[in-house]
């Protein structure tokens, strides 16, 4: 599978692309060690229970009996046999998951998953996502976009604005229940203010401006950040293009642009989210982003029987089921927990991710999913033993937790907390988080553990760190050490290797969550 690139070091030359991107789709299957892989785009992560049932049927009949959730809120089917492409396409087309064969790989639209579901924000961005998807599928020029080009629609809470969009729109409230948006292009801190009705159209025009710049550069750039100097696209360029298209806009210089709220990493906390009108949404996470067909069918059944008939897949490999009553939300949530889904923010599986690893990926040096589960088991056992000892001695002291939810919102508050941890089988680091996270990289001799920040100096990129490998039994301790170091440093501090700290603490493993043993859901 194509890798998820780390941030380009400051001052590095952008790549020259001599071919199109190799991102898989629903029609362009990727050949992996465990069979073919199909990636089904779900704009804004949304799908109906009927569409979810179709995906379950396809995974059971054609795939390996599982569904994978991606860091862009899409789904993947693995283990597909040769010559299944036409049958799979027919299933997806019948379910309405393939509105345009020519556009299926470029429908990459992230939107704030909780928009309209909690008590704090309207659902504007979800409406924008649907309109933008329709515009994309009707645009002949949009077919030239890379399968990696990303649209991000943030409802103002800041949850998805930092996820690396090429075109990012952050909703602004006008005090009357509606509003427009600030459009940002790539990493440019300046913005363009747009009225609400024009938002979806401006996103498409901005993407078309990128295509014009990419063609003129001759570098075959796939994303805005890859445009070379002299062809780089910024907010002022986009504002000029929008005015020429007849859209009324206001250019907002970097100093005047309102900062996007800094949401805590990890997205909505698992559990029950209180919504308007007394309704509830259930938020669950899939361990390592993998769901069995049985788990997926249970989510689908809850959505159809007790919810509004829809589901939302989040970019943090979770699923939201909206529209439940207060009376049914609790029992249904515990039913999902009994099926093995994560419903507790203190679960040891919360904020842990991994690439496919062996045996599914031939490039991987290890079975990272099995190793992550083994390391988690060791950490949980050590934590349980330490908690029992401390309780017996009367010295129990709560440790730093993962953050508590803002009342009724399902979102964590900012503060010290566990960072996302991602296990990778090679330097490609497929599916790694954005922002700050703990990198656990298989080396063939063990694992290299480091803290990765949003600002990455070229001389200290994680894959250039000295080879200080940690054996699997000590990885949990190394993760805890790297997390402490990352929380102690400023957000822009360079990556910090945890090997030295590990050596000092190897005989006294550090708990990775609360001393009481959480349920392994």
In tens, the pLDDT along 465-486 reads: 444 788 998 898 888 888 888 7
User: pTM for the complete prediction?
Assistant: 0.84
Bridge pairing between strands 437-442 and 421-424? parallel
336, two tokens: 């999902």
Q: Is the dihedral of CA 382, 387, 392, 393 positive or negative?
A: positive
Instruction: Tally the C-alpha atoms within 13 A of residue 273's C-alpha that lie toward its C-beta.
Output: 30
Beta-bridge partner residues of 452: 437
pLDDT given for residue 330 in this prediction: 97
pLDDT given for residue 219 in this prediction: 94
pLDDT given for residue 434 in this prediction: 83
pLDDT given for residue 481 in this prediction: 85
Which helix (H) or strand (E) is 99 found in, with range?
none
pLDDT given for residue 494 in this prediction: 38
**Alpha carbon distances (Å) from 29 to 38, 323, 387, 464:** 5, 35, 48, 32
352, two tokens: 């842990």
Per-residue pLDDT of the chain (521 residues; tens, 9 = 90+): 444 444 555 456 778 887 788 899 999 999 999 999 999 999 999 999 999 999 999 999 999 999 999 999 999 999 999 999 999 999 999 999 999 999 999 999 999 999 999 987 777 899 999 999 999 999 999 999 999 999 999 999 999 998 999 999 999 976 444 579 999 999 999 999 999 889 999 999 999 999 999 999 999 999 999 999 999 999 999 999 999 999 999 999 985 666 666 665 678 999 999 999 999 999 999 999 999 999 999 999 999 999 999 999 999 999 999 999 999 999 999 999 999 999 998 888 888 999 999 999 999 999 999 999 999 888 877 766 766 666 677 654 444 333 333 333 344 434 435 788 999 999 999 989 888 889 999 999 999 999 887 443 333 344 434 447 889 988 988 888 888 887 776 444 333 333 333 332 222 222 222 223 323 33
111, two tokens: 């939107």
**Alpha carbon distances (Å) from 205 to 90, 102, 130, 211, 355:** 32, 19, 16, 10, 34
In tens, the pLDDT along 125-157 reads: 999 999 999 999 999 999 999 999 999 999 999
Contact (CB, 8 A) for 265 and 437: yes
Cα(first)–Cα(last) distance of the chain, in Å?
A: 28
pLDDT given for residue 244 in this prediction: 95
Contact (CB, 8 A) for 365 and 423: no
Residues ≥6 apart with Cβ < 8 Å to 485: 451, 496, 498, 501
């Amino acid at each position: 599978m194509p890798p998820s690139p780390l941030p380009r070091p400051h001052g590095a030359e952008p790549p020259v692309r001599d071919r199109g991107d190799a991102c898989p789709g629903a029609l362009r299957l990727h050949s992996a060690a465990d069979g073919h892989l199909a990636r089904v785009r779900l704009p804004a992560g949304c799908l109906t229970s009927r569409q979810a049932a179709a995906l379950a049927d396809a995974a059971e009949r054609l795939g390996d009996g599982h569904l994978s959730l991606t860091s862009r809120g899409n789904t993947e089917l693995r283990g597909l046999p040769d010559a299944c492409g036409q049958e799979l396409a027919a299933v997806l087309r019948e379910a309405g998951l393939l509105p345009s064969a020519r556009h299926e790989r470029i429908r990459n639209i992230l939107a704030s998953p909780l928009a309209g579901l909690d008590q704090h924000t309207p659902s504007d961005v979800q409406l924008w996502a649907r309109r933008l998807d329709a515009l994309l599928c009707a645009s002949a020029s949009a077919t030239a976009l890379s399968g990696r080009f990303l649209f991000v629609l943030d409802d103002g809470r800041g949850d998805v604005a930092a996820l690396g969009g090429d075109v990012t729109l952050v909703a602004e409230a006008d005090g009357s229940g509606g509003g427009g948006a600030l459009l940002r292009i790539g990493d440019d801190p300046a913005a363009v203010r747009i009225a609400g009705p024009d938002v979806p159209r401006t996103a498409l025009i901005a993407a078309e401006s990128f295509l014009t710049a990419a063609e003129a550069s001759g570098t075959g750039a796939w994303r805005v950040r890859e445009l070379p100097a002299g062809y780089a696209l910024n907010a002022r360029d986009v504002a000029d293009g929008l005015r020429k298209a007849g859209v009324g806009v206001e250019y907002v210089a970097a100093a005047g642009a309102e900062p996007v709220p800094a949401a805590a990493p990890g997205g909505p906390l698992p559990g029950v989210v209180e919504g308007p009108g007394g309704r509830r949404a259930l938020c669950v996470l899939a361990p390592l982003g993998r769901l069995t067909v049985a788990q997926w069918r249970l989510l689908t059944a809850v959505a159809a029987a007790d919810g509004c008939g829809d589901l939302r897949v989040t970019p943090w490999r979770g699923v939201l089921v909206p529209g439940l009553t207060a009376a049914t939300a609790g029992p249904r949530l515990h039913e999902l927990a009994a099926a093995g889904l994560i419903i507790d923010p203190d679960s040891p599986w919360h904020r842990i991710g991994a690439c496919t690893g062996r045996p599914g990926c031939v490039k991987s040096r290890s079975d990272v999913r099995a190793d992550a589960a083994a390391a988690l088991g060791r950490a949980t056992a050590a934590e349980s033993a330490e908690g029992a000892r401390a309780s017996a001695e009367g010295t129990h002291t709560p440790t730093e937790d993962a953050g508590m939810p803002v009342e009724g919102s399902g979102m964590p508050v900012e503060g010290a907390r566990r960072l996302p941890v991602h296990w990778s089988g090679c330097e490609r680091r497929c599916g790694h988080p954005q922002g700050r996270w703990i990198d656990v990289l298989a080396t063939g001799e063990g694992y290299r553990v480091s803290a990765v920040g949003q600002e990455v100096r070229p001389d200290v990129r994680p894959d250039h760190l000295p080879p200080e490998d940690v054996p699997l039994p000590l990885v949990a301790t190394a993760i805890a050490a790297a997390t402490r170091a990352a929380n102690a440093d400023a957000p822009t501090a360079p990556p910090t290797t945890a090997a030295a700290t590990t050596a000092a603490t190897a005989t006294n493993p550090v708990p990775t969550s609360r001393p009481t043993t959480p349920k392994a859901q």
